[in-house]
Amino acid sequence: MSFNDKAKTVRKGEELDVSRIEEFLRDTIPGLSGTLTIRQFPSGYSNLTYLLTIGNRELVLRRPPFGKKAKTAHDMGREYRILKALRPVFPYCPEPLAYTEDTSIIGSPFYVMERLRGIILRRDLPKGLTFTPEEARQLCEKLLDVQIQLHAIDYKKIGLENHGKPKGYVERQVVGWSDRYRAARTDDAPDCEKVMAWIQENMPLDCDRPGIIHNDYRFDNVVLDEEDPMKIIGILDWEMATIGDPLMDLGNSLAYWVQRDDPPEMHVMRLMPTNMEGALTRKEIISRYAEKSGRLIKNFDFYYCFGLFRLAVIAQQIYYRYYHGQTKDERFKMLIHGVRVLDKTAQRVIEGSTSPE
């Protein structure tokens, strides 16, 4: 039985020019032969991902979404360059093959990479795939350990010193995401002002050990080996990767982490099987991260609260496009409910938090 993500017919309004792409591929990637077919991976809410099959090669094309986009988001060239630099030292990256800024091909910059075939875990485990409680725990530990490995890479040695500004990183994130939320807020969205005020007032000092951070590190961006689902073979979706505070990356990851004892409203918006019996809790993840990374974590409430708010902004930005008719993807219609739940969850974190030391 195969648990691979299945590509489907391209969604209406998101079609690509097959002949122009085929011409680009043949001019850029040596050794291609056969007729190009294009299908689309239906998952994901941000950049669009397509499966390109040409002869016996399977490639993946990534392009920005259609409609209004945040000014600094969806930089295909940046994502491509990060993958090129990371691939030799972090084998979990897919191999990047080609990039172009020529918008005459599909209307936007895009890049192409080799497809990583494997299992990607979505909201619930696919039928036929099971993990014992011990296996679930070990898989969560491996997921976290790969993230710690990424954070420990010397980014200067691999030429990524100019791909982020560690100084003032946290403050820029707080201010920037707050501005983005206000710009994307629709009439039916919460104002989130209490949350924005709290994270502004509780920002930690600059990190003394900045690192490469993925910024969207979670189970459904991880590829597992088809023959051994306990083995991680790839990490996908590097569009928001940068140099910054690794604890911000961890907080962003935990914003997605819905555990078994969370309130029902959080389970409604759960995207991954983090509620498996035996899966690590957020508290256990934070403890293991501190132990394995050697980083001092005085108070994690800020990072988790910021992660929740940032996720609310991402959902709201996508919902904005649906609300204003810039996309017809019906999945986006329900995101407003997620924004409300995330705002309430962040407020609960604030109410139960102690002041940072």
Domain match, 159 and 308 both? yes
Q: Are 280 and 137 in contact (CB under 8 A)?
A: yes
Both 236 and 306 in one domain: the answer is: yes
One domain for residues 152 and 191: yes
Which of 53, 84, 114 terminates a domain? The answer is 114
pLDDT in tens, the chain (357 residues): 455 667 888 888 888 999 999 999 999 999 898 899 999 988 655 689 999 999 889 999 999 887 544 444 568 899 999 999 999 999 999 999 999 999 999 999 999 999 999 999 999 999 999 999 999 999 999 999 999 999 999 999 999 998 889 999 999 999 999 999 999 999 999 999 999 999 999 999 999 999 999 999 999 999 999 999 999 999 998 988 999 999 999 999 999 999 999 999 999 999 999 999 999 999 999 999 999 999 999 889 999 999 999 999 999 999 999 889 888 788 899 999 999 999 999 999 999 987 544
User: Does residue 303 lie in a domain region?
Assistant: yes
Note whether 76 and 182 are same-domain residues: no
Q: Confirm whether 267 is domain-assigned.
A: yes
123, part of any domain: no
pLDDT value, residue 274: 97
Domain of 25 in residue numbering reads as 18-114
Same domain, 108 and 142: no
At 252, which CATH number? 3.90.1200.10
Q: Coil, strand, or helix at residue 13?
A: coil
26, 163: one domain: no
Judge if 225 and 308 occupy the same domain.
yes
83 and 140 share a domain?
no
Query: Domain boundary residue among 81, 114, 147?
Result: 114
Does 205 share its domain with 154? yes
Q: Write phi, then psi, for 267 (nearest 5 degrees).
A: -70, -30
Amino acid code (one letter) for 64: P
User: Same domain, yes or no, for 174 and 232?
Assistant: yes
Backbone angles phi, psi at 336, to 5 degrees: -60, -35
Spatial contact of 86 and 113, defined as CB atoms under 8 Å apart: no
Residue 33: phi and psi, rounded to 5, are -150, 155
* Angle (deg, nearest 10), helices 133-151 and 246-255: 150
Give exposure, 50-88, as e/b (b: 16+ Cβ within 10 Å): bbbbbeebebbbbbbbbeebeeeebebebbbbbbbbbbe
Question: Is residue 173 situated within a structural domain?
Answer: yes
- Do 182 and 254 have their domain in common? yes
Q: Which helix (H) or strand (E) holds 319?
A: helix 301-323
165 within some domain: yes
Distance CA(336)–CA(68), nearest Å, equals 17
* pLDDT for the residue 70: 45
Domain boundary among 53, 83, 114: 114
Domain count, the chain: 2
CATH of the domain at 70: 3.30.200.20
- Per-residue confidence (pLDDT) for residue 8, from 0 to 100: 84
Q: Are residues 26 and 64 in the same domain?
A: yes
Query: What is the pTM (predicted TM-score) of this model?
Result: 0.88
Residue the block writes with tokens 């016996």: 56
Helix (H) or strand (E) holding 97: strand 96-100
Does 243 reside within a domain? yes
